[in-house]
């Protein structure tokens, strides 16, 4: 057993003063086979603590169905950290932000049209309680008070940036305490009056999040909490990327200087991120700061962190270690052996399967008067296909998808006529209808639910309806396409691509190593290797390669399946040994 607490301006572990030098590593953004490598590199850099969020939607993908295996094995991740002598900070709030899909909230919450999020709304709290009953039971043996490495737990996350429902925050606090969470509880918020006023509750340590101006941030925190240690719970030493942007970077010298300032002020710190990792599958989030804005996050969560996406130390790593050495006596930098990277070269796609032809093989038709959202149909992520018929003749008019979430390809009699995107509201689609009428098909992609701010209630698909002119269209057939099981696809030889299609090829490997899949020549889509969803690619950048951890590969044949929405200049891919972020 151990204790972690604070008195005055200092933290204490077993009554010995301690300064926390922590770094964020998300177990769910790194394959389990690489967890120890990342944790060893954290320790070698001079850190004594690792911090991680806990995404509710990963652990309870369907209501009442829990998973804690593979990349979701949080217990094993925390145990590995403890075995290396690291303390652990866990942030298991219902909401985590983290540029993660829906801020970690499960999408099935939105099937309830009356659901209220992140507040004292009893149906929401009932779901949180059911989640806590399972999750916190797993964390309890890992608390330092029970001999484990967990020293602190967070209540909610940056709540003052969202609301001021203190009754809700106190409910979460009491929910943790009643389930035996007898370690230090804390909150974290931006160092601004409104955020601190909205996010603080009695009896819980407040911390602040910032990327610069440490003196000002800690001064503001001390105005509200004068008799406690100061800690930056999120030191933003890099940043994340949206599609259509340049890759974000921050000079190592600048990061080191701000860290020096934090430590000189006797502050504790948690680097966000120490290792960013990857938004595998459809788990990337999005930003929507206004009703009309929408910016989805890339698959890569490199974050320009101390370790890059594939876990290699960057110049920032060594600059930070040098600063830490001013305050902590460090020995030699003993890094684990580098994880092998390999360029496997070109792989041709040899087979093709049309989505249209295969709809009934990988999904089942649903008939409804009007389009339903993914959530209403029990779908979490991926794509959704709608179709209907417009009678004719009709003169040219505009075709509207009312409140589209997020991006739709529109087909008339099987021919692509345009793409509508909520991020490009200026794009219009007009056509006339011949006497024989038109079959309209719409493939909508969920590009990631908003993870931060006031517009998080981000239902996906056609959320209001589709209109031709002023007339709403009815009598729809819908196919849900989460792409969790593609075994029903029937592949044939390559042919001219006329609709969104799957392509298949084989990578032959003699030695499984980390590698990067270069998607140059392809337009937009998703890649699967041996059934594992690597994530999205999009030629608008900044991301040009997809990280492929070696443990996903096997000796001999590896199946590559690409779902391409538009077409490619060359139906082949190249495996390289270096990432490319434009």
> Which residues are identified as catalytic?
158, 234
Number of neighbouring beta carbons within 10 Å of residue 180: 15
Cα dihedral across residues 186, 187, 190, 192: positive or negative: negative
Number of neighbouring beta carbons within 10 Å of residue 405: 25
For residue 406, whether the previous peptide bond is cis, meaning omega lies within 30 degrees of 0, is yes
Contact residues for 532 (Cβ-Cβ < 8 A; gap 6+): 280, 552
Gap between the Cα atoms of 21 and 42, Å rounded = 10
Asked if 541 and 523 count as a contact pair (C-beta separation under 8 A), the reply is no
Give me the count of residues in the chain: 582
The DSSP element (H or E) to which 361 belongs, if any, is: helix 355-362
Angle at 443 between CA 437 and CA 448, to 5 degrees: 150
Give one word for 156, left, alpha or beta, with left for phi > 0 and alpha for psi -120 to 50.
left
Number of neighbouring beta carbons within 10 Å of residue 565: 22
Gap between the Cα atoms of 505 and 516, Å rounded = 16
Q: Is 569 exposed, middle or buried (0-12, 13-18, 19+ CB in 10 A)?
A: exposed
Residue 402 three-state SS: strand
CA nearest neighbour of 431 among 456, 566, 439: 439
- According to DSSP, residue 378 is labeled T
Gap between the Cα atoms of 77 and 27, Å rounded = 7
CA nearest neighbour of 224 among 262, 197, 258, 252: 197
> What angle separates helix 315-324 from helix 252-264, to the nearest 10 degrees?
20
End-to-end CA distance of the chain: give it in Å, rounded: 49
Q: Which two tokens stand for residue 530?
A: 């041996």
Asked if 381 and 281 count as a contact pair (C-beta separation under 8 A), the reply is yes
Asked if 524 and 473 count as a contact pair (C-beta separation under 8 A), the reply is no
State residue 412 phi and psi, 5-degree precision: -115, 120
Residue 441 three-state SS: strand
Which residue matches tokens 């009643």?
A: 178
Gap between the Cα atoms of 130 and 142, Å rounded = 20
Contact residues for 87 (Cβ-Cβ < 8 A; gap 6+): 4, 13, 20, 22, 48, 49, 50, 81, 144, 149, 150, 151
């Amino acid at each position: 057993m151990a204790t972690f607490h604070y008195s005055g301006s200092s933290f204490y572990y077993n009554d010995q003063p301690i300064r926390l030098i922590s770094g964020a590593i998300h177990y769910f953004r790194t394959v389990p086979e690489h967890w120890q490598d990342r944790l060893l590199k954290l320790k070698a850099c001079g850190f004594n603590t690792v911090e991680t969020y806990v995404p509710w939607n990963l652990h309870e993908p369907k209501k009442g169905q829990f998973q804690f295996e593979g990349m979701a094995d949080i217990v094993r991740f925390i145990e590995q950290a403890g075995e290396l002598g690291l303390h652990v900070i866990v942030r298991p709030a219902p909401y985590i932000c983290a540029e993660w899909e829906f801020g970690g909230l499960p999408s099935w919450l939105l099937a309830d049209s009356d659901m209220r999020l992140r507040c004292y709304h009893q149906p929401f709290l009932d779901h949180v309680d059911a989640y806590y009953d399972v999750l916190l039971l797993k964390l309890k043996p890992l608390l330092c008070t029970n001999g484990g490495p967990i020293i602190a737990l967070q209540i909610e996350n940056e709540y003052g940036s969202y609301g001021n429902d203190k009754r809700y925050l106190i409910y979460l606090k009491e929910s943790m305490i009643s389930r035996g969470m007898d370690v230090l509880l804390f909150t974290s918020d931006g160092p601004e009056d409104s955020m601190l006023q909205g996010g603080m509750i009695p009896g819980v340590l407040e911390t602040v999040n910032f990327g610069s101006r440490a003196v000002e941030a800690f001064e503001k925190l001390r105005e509200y909490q004068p008799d406690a240690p100061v800690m930056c719970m999120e030191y933003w030493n890099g940043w994340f990327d949206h599609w259509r942007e340049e890759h974000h970077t921050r000079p190592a010298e600048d990061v080191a200087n701000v860290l020096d300032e934090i430590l000189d002020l006797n502050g504790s710190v948690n680097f966000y991120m120490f290792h960013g990792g990857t938004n595998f599958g459809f788990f990337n989030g999005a930003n929507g700061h206004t009703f009309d804005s929408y910016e989805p996050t890339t698959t890569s969560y490199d974050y320009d962190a101390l370790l890059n996406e594939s876990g290699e130390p960057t110049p920032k790593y060594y600059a930070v270690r040098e600063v830490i050495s001013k305050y902590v006596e460090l020995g030699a930098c003993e890094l684990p052996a580098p994880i092998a990277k390999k360029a496997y070269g070109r792989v041709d796609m040899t087979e093709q399967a049309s989505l249209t032809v295969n709809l009934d093989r990988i999904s089942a038709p649903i008939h409804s008067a009007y389009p339903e959202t993914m959530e209403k149909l029990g779908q979490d992520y991926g794509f959704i296909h709608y179709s209907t018929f417009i009678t004719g003749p009709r003169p040219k008019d505009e075709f509207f998808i009312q409140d589209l979430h997020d991006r739709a390809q529109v087909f008339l009699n099987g021919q692509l006529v345009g793409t509508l995107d909520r991020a490009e509201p200026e794009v219009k689609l007009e056509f006339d209808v011949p006497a024989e009428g038109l079959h309209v098909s719409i493939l909508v992609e969920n590009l990631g639910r908003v993870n931060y701010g006031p517009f998080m209630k981000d239902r996906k698909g056609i959320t209001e309806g589709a209109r031709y002119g002023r007339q709403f269209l009815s009598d729809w057939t819908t196919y849900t396409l989460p792409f969790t099981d593609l075994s029903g696809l029937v592949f044939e030889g390559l042919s001219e691509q006329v609709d969104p299609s799957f392509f298949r090829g084989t990578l032959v490997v003699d030695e499984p190593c980390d590698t990067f899949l270069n998607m140059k020549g392809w337009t937009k889509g998703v890649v699967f290797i041996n059934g594992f969803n690597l994530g999205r690619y999009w030629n608008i950048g900044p991301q040009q390669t997809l990280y492929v951890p070696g443990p996903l590969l096997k000796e001999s044949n590896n199946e590559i399946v690409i779902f391409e929405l538009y077409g490619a200049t060359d139906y082949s891919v190249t495996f390289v040994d270096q990432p490319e972020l434009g």
